[in-house]
Structure 1
């Protein structure tokens, strides 16, 4: 899956455009992003649905990770796990994955908005009523998703570029299906053909097209339902 960003890139493009001035941003191919779920500062999720405090600043983003895309070395035998975000998963750590993925999806854009831009968005958008799940290898987050379980809508799905092409996006989607077995939706940019093909392979059916309320970017609503997914499979 070309994930790096979990669909529209609308808010990302708007933020980066503000940072760059009149920069022109090419459509990304791996982001699922349409809005947020409130501030993460007052709450994080332990067991899904249980709000707790996510403490910022436990880890700092490197000052220049713009050119660093290589995975870190991990101790032998350390296996990746998908789990709810905890207070050990700092805003900086989540923002680092987001920024790398955005840069990977938009290679023509230089420079990319600084880490603080992405950290501010994490604080503002990753929180109740959404569940935040991360895929981690030891302490390092390599992917995350933001899911409104009650509203059955996937807001964001990002995979670090160093981990793309390994089935990580599909693993994360299985968590969405587990939490919303009756069906769920997401928005994806109409020009994001790679992501649209990926979601179609995983049983999502495209529906109405509208525009993002903040940016006017065209997007399509995709829906996963058990019957449609079974037919696609």
Structure 2
């Protein structure tokens, strides 16, 4: 499959399993030191029962295979952006951030773990600014995190 077979589209219920697969592979590859709060089955259930039905969820579909996901929450929250590890560094994350900015033109904010230096570089490159660091007491993983904010240039 070539990159030109790649489409960004709204997720449907039938994408939930593929979305969970990508999330699990991506989390394991990008965050090997972070202790997950939920097992694989709970992650799969969460995407099927909560994320896809209730949130604005987008997938990168490569010939029928989910290779990335973007989840936008209420207001300006960018809840999730995960890519299949084999798709990192190929411009897909850039496309997702551009989509998020189009969908939330008034601004975006997100949390990422402090250990995830590649994510920090990625978001800074896209104009996000670090505004807060915590000890992780507020997240399920109890892992120190960072909040980034993007505001449109007025």
TM (norm. structure 1) is 0.57
Paired position in structure 2 for 1:94: 19
Are residues 1:132 and 2:57 paired?
yes
What's 1:192 paired with? 116
d(CA) in 2 for partners of 1:215 and 1:144? 21
Structure 2 gap ranges (5+): none
Partner SS for 2:14: coil
Q: Which 5+ residue runs of structure 1 have no aligned equivalent?
A: 1-73, 229-233
> Shift in Å at residue 217 of structure 1?
2.2
Aligned residues: 149
Displacement, 1:145?
A: 0.9
Q: Offset of 1:208 from its aligned partner?
A: 1.8
Describe the shift of the 1:103–1:171 C-alpha distance in structure 2 as closer, same or farther (beyond 3 A). same
User: 1:137, CA displacement in angstroms?
Assistant: 1.4
5 Å matches for 1:140-155?
140-148=65-73, 150-155=74-79
The equivalent of 1:160 in structure 2 is 84
Task: Judging by fraction of residues, say which structure has more helix.
Answer: 2
| Equivalent-residue separation in structure 1 for 2:128 and 2:33 (angstroms) | 29
Q: Which runs of 4+ in 1 moved over 6 A?
A: none
Higher relative contact order (CA 8 A, sep 6+): 1
Give RMSD over aligned pairs.
2.5
2:105 is matched with 181
Query: Alignment partner of 2:13: what SS?
Result: coil
Q: Which has the higher strand share?
A: 2
2-side partners of 1:85 and 1:203: how far apart? Answer: 26
Q: Distance in 2 between matches of 1:86 and 1:122?
A: 11
